[in-house]
Structure 1
Amino acid sequence: MTVQIKSSEAQQNFGRIMDKALIEGDVVIERYGEPRVVIIGYKRYEELLEAERSLSGLYVTYPDTSSEARQKGRILAEKVRQEYKATPDESLEEGMRS
């Protein structure tokens, strides 16, 4: 569970805020009503770092919208249509097995 606290309270009660982060979960420190920092337990910090490391090799790619890619898509769609027309009585399950 996330707890939100004003920065003035965090300054005056830092030890209690640390305990709160360990017991109750993440503590969001606000300044002028806006979230500024988060205090989290060390174990959670390590888990977040590990998750970040495991995701670092992943890349998001955008669809290829080139005319060549669109043409390949049209050709593939036509092949699927032709195969479907060639086997009208075959169920989807039967088609997947073949």
Structure 2
Amino acid sequence: MPHLTCCEASFAIRARRGGAPGEENAVSVGPREVAEFLQRTGWSQARLAWEIGVRQPRISRFLNGLKRPNPELERALGTVVRAPSRAAGAGNPGEPAATPQP
């Protein structure tokens, strides 16, 4: 089993339990998944931060396992990281994500 940071371990435990008490429908996303998203899309931490309305150092602390996201940030990360239209990394900040045409 690979070594997990305290942040990653917390996400793994919460995912198995179905979230923390008081969190409804939390979308658990870990630092490794976000890092893979950044690499796959070519987005910078600053771009991701801009898209979800936080500052870049917040993303950095999360990726390095220094800080866990609050439920709102966790949902925002999950929405962006797992969105099919974001998979290709197309578009610039401020542009709406591409929507599939029928």
Same fold (TM over 0.5): no
Higher strand share: 1
Q: Which has the larger radius of gyration?
A: 1
In the superposition, the TM-score normalised over structure 2's length comes to: 0.24
Alignment TM-score, normalising by the size of structure 1:
0.25
Greater helix content? 1
